[in-house]
């Protein structure tokens, strides 16, 4: 039986692969992609069965370019997974902290460790493509004076030691990932959805739509606006909603349809916010 193929942005042992393992389990084949757009292309070309795509981080905020990919590719969202972002300082086995002269990682990971790096002003800090690729570079090139900021999975895969643990500034940092598929699947246990729509420019048009959710006991967990390309003062609204009773959700959708433009349900799935 062939393994499920999951497209990830970055190198093996990146946080995207860790999120894929958390959602699907260890028995998968990850398809490494240089960019998020490449992950969508891999799914489009049937080179992958699913995409794991980061959509927001509790510190860095929403990944706005990925909302554009959701809009452009319209792949159904079939799930979500939250991952605690724990960052460590990795180096070759036997290397001590006082031997480190250079630290490399993804720019966001470096920013998330800013306090620690400020405590070591002699480190030369260099940005890399992703956390795991920086760890792999150290292992491949036997760099004895360089450390990577990455996760425990990268240390294990590339044979590196963790010389400083949990160096991230905010210990409650997490990232939310979406699971995208090429085919929409009906899930009778779905209790969360991501909607995409526009409203007209009349006064209170968006507020009116949001009131429908409240009237039907629907919890709106997130709203993200993105400008409509080439149209001034027009916006796409991406809204995450959660419900306990299916009939409330159905009623809210019927009301929303009548008062929105270009309405789409990007996915209905099971809420999965355990970190």
Q: Quick check: is 187 in a domain?
A: no
Q: 275, 7, 5, 8: which is closest to 129 by C-alpha? A: 8
Reported pTM: 0.93
- Return the pLDDT at 274: 86
Q: Quick check: is 39 in a domain?
A: yes
**Judgement on whether residues 78 and 99 belong to the same structural domain of the protein:** no
**Judgement on whether residues 60 and 177 belong to the same structural domain of the protein:** yes
The residue among 121, 152, 181 that closes a domain is 181
232-261 confidence digits (pLDDT tens)? 888 999 999 999 999 999 999 999 999 999
**Judgement on whether residues 65 and 108 belong to the same structural domain of the protein:** no
- Return the pLDDT at 59: 85
**Judgement on whether residues 42 and 177 belong to the same structural domain of the protein:** yes
- Per the structure, how many domains does the chain have? 3
**Judgement on whether residues 177 and 51 belong to the same structural domain of the protein:** yes
Instruction: Concatenate the DSSP letters of all residues of 184-207 into one string.
Output: ----TT--EEEEEEE--SSTTHHH
Distance CA 266, CA 195 (A): 6
**Judgement on whether residues 203 and 228 belong to the same structural domain of the protein:** yes
**Judgement on whether residues 70 and 177 belong to the same structural domain of the protein:** yes
CA angle 196/201/205 to nearest 5° reads 65
**Per-residue tokens: 107:** 């720019």
Point out the residues of the chain with pLDDT beneath 50.
none
**Judgement on whether residues 120 and 157 belong to the same structural domain of the protein:** yes
- Return the pLDDT at 229: 86
**Judgement on whether residues 56 and 153 belong to the same structural domain of the protein:** no
- Return the pLDDT at 60: 83
Q: How far is CA 205 from CA 8, 141, 217, 242, 254, in A?
A: 38, 58, 20, 21, 16
CA angle 69/174/114 to nearest 5° reads 100
**Per-residue tokens: 54:** 């980061």
Strands 28-33 and 4-9, by their bridges, are: parallel
**Judgement on whether residues 69 and 177 belong to the same structural domain of the protein:** yes
- The CATH number given to whatever domain includes residue 18 is 3.40.190.10
What range defines the domain where residue 238 resides? 192-269
Count the alpha carbons within 13 Å of 13 in the hemisphere toward its beta carbon: 21
CB under 8 Å, gap of 24 or more: what pairs does 240-243 form? 240/192, 240/193, 240/194, 240/195, 241/192, 241/193, 241/195, 241/213, 242/191, 242/192, 242/218, 242/271, 243/191, 243/192, 243/216, 243/217, 243/218, 243/219
- Return the pLDDT at 233: 83
The residue among 181, 213, 242 that closes a domain is 181
**Judgement on whether residues 74 and 107 belong to the same structural domain of the protein:** no
**Judgement on whether residues 236 and 129 belong to the same structural domain of the protein:** no
**Per-residue tokens: 264:** 């789409």
Q: Quick check: is 274 in a domain?
A: no
């Amino acid at each position: 039986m062939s393994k499920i193929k999951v497209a990830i942005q970055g190198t093996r042992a990146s946080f995207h692969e860790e999120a894929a393992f958390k959602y699907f389990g260890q028995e998968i084949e990850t398809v490494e992609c240089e960019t998020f757009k490449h992950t969508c292309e891999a799914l489009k070309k049937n080179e992958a069965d699913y995409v794991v795509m980061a959509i927001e981080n509790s510190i860095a905020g929403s990944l706005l370019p990925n909302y554009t990919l959701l809009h452009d590719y319209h792949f159904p969202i079939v799930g979500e997974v939250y991952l605690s972002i724990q960052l460590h300082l990795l180096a070759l086995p036997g290397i001590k902290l006082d031997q480190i002269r250079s630290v490399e990682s993804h720019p966001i990971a470096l920013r998330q460790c800013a306090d620690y790096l400020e405590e070591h002003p002699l480190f030369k800090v260099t940005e890399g493509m992703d956390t795991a690729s920086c760890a792999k570079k150290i292992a491949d090139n036997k760099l004895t004076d360089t450390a990577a900021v990455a996760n425990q999975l990268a240390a294990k895969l590339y044979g590196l030691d963790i010389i400083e643990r949990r160096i991230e500034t905010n210990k409650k940092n997490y990232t939310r990932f979406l699971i995208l598929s090429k085919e929409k699947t009906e899930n009778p246990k779905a209790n969360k959805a991501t909607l995409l729509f526009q409203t007209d420019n009349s006064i209170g048009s968006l507020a009116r739509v949001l009131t429908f959710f409240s009237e039907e006991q629907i919890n709106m967990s997130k709203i993200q606006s993105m400008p409509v390309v080439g149209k001034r003062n027009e916006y796409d609204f991406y809204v995450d909603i959660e419900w306990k009773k299916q009939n409330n959700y159905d009623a809210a959708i019927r009301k929303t349809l009548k008062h929105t433009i270009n309405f789409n349900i990007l996915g209905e799935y099971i809420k999965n916010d355990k970190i």
